[in-house]
Structure 1
């Protein structure tokens, strides 16, 4: 990724005004038998979102955007390779806006390959003016191993930025991530006149450091309230409410780099 001095200065200048917090990104108030999810996605950590089936790429990316908005963890630097750009299609401001993310709060960086992706991610994760770093990788990506993820975790803990590693068409493997999630699209509740409903996700916690995993639930994303709500699921009542703690309030303007 090739960033101009102006773009780098814009990101770094946010550190002076950002109000860093240890607040949770998205999964906060959980009750009953799902209390094990109370800790949610901790800020200043690395988390993995897997779309094991590549056809669920949009769901994984959408959930990454939603938890970022819910936690008010802005601005966002989104890193992807040129191969991801070809396979997944270009990110569009209109689509991000439908989820509630203003395009001016996102900087998009497109790099040549996996090695460049990891180098750029390691550098970006050390930037204290960043709210969320989304790293999008397609396929097995063998370079994203225990060493690389540990480096990202340490950088996130030091800077206060949160790293969301979005893995498309890949199987989970050992990593230093604090949590690991499987994501797929789910049917949403139809609106009036049988209009299409809001985005819905089927989510499973595959791993949570220091806690249990293996639970599944379905949630819908409420863009206007900037929170998740329970999606109807027969025989289950699994509410998911976003942590609305303010964090980084100053967005960056969109800049496409690479």
Structure 2
């Protein structure tokens, strides 16, 4: 289990190939949400993801991972996760990450004991410009996760150009320096053939957007192959058949409905 020292060593190994990236935007890949957001979310910034309810907090983590994959563009990720989250909801699973299109071998996972450790690890990681994105996951409403801490994280992200996604489980939204704030809940996915489970689906609400987009709501699905979001397909309307009229067959030959 990597500790902060191990995390520093892992980050140091990436430093020789690092290059400072200017802050820009990373898109969702779905015009219906990228348009209102002005092209996407700010790269090199702090973004918060709140679970709407504790029972669906895994969806918040999944949505946060999707954002990190979009922002990371194939570079390594760091995931700092409070160990209490593992106790309450289960540990991260490599096959589950792969189902989202992520590479478990390119994610450095560190499990600090408390929120202070998570924030410290996230701050250390986000300063390394070789990292694609950082996820920080804490439980509840610890006092250390305050406005001052969010400002510190946001400044570090802006300095390196690395995106930081802070996942909050069991907490109500509160003031922070985040560039965007989201509330997430699980949604029903579009079923595949033979009733097989469809792609991950999210019911997301934008609570705050520093660039000016007003609060809005979307339903999104995640495509692990393209690593992008998409609006779920609309259900096909069923055209009712006439009950008392002649219906033309495919070759134009009229035939009557029975009954």
Which residue of 1 is the match for residue 67 of structure 2?
67
Asked whether the equivalents of residues 83 and 112 of structure 2 are also in contact (C-alpha less than 8 Å), the reply is yes
Q: How does 1:86-165 map to 2 (within 5 A)?
A: 86-165=87-166
Deviation (angstroms), 1:22: 3.4
- How far off is 1:23 after superposition? 4.2
Contact 2:186 2:203 in 1 (8 A): yes
Deviations 1:164-201 (A, max 9, x none): 00001111100000000111111111111121111100
Aligned mates of 2:166, 2:225 — CA distance in 1: 26
Change (3 A) 1:66 1:50: same
Task: Report deviation, 1:101.
Answer: 0.6
CA–CA distance in 2 between the matches of 1:178 and 1:150? 10
Q: Distance in 1 between the 2:3 and 2:190 partners?
A: 43
Displacement of 1:89: 0.9
CA distance in 2, matches of 1:40, 1:34: 5
Distance 1:196 1:55 in 2: 20
Structure 2 CA distance for aligned equivalents of residues 127 and 105 of structure 1: 15
Count the aligned residue pairs.
232
> Are 1:74 and 1:105, in contact at CA under 8 Å, matched by a contact in 2?
yes
Q: Partners in 2 of 1:158 and 1:70 — Cα distance?
A: 20
What is the match of residue 217 of structure 1? 218
Q: Aligned partners of 2:142 and 2:109: how far apart in 1?
A: 20
CA distance in 2, matches of 1:214, 1:202: 14
Query: How much is the aligned-residue C-alpha RMSD, in angstroms?
Result: 2.2
Residues 126 and 159, structure 1, Cα contact 8 Å, conserved in 2: yes
> Cα distance 1:100–1:21, how it changes in 2: closer, same or farther (>3 A)?
farther
User: TM-score w.r.t. structure 2 length?
Assistant: 0.82
Per the TM alignment, residue 140 of structure 1 is displaced from its structure 2 partner at its CA by 1.6
* Structure 2: runs of 5+ lacking an equivalent: 236-259
Alpha-carbon contact 1:13-1:129 (below 8 Å) kept: no
Which residue of structure 2 aligns with residue 253 of structure 1? none
Distance in 1 between the 2:34 and 2:11 partners?
Answer: 37
**Which residue number in structure 2 is paired with residue 47 of structure 1?**
47
Taking structure 1 as the reference length, the TM-score comes to 0.82
> Who wins on radius of gyration, i.e. which is larger?
2
Partner SS, residue 122 of structure 2: helix
- 2:228 aligned partner: 227
Is there any run of 5+ residues in structure 1 with no aligned partner, and where? 235-258
Sort the Cα spacing of 1:23 and 1:212 in 2 relative to 1 into closer, same or farther, 3 A: closer
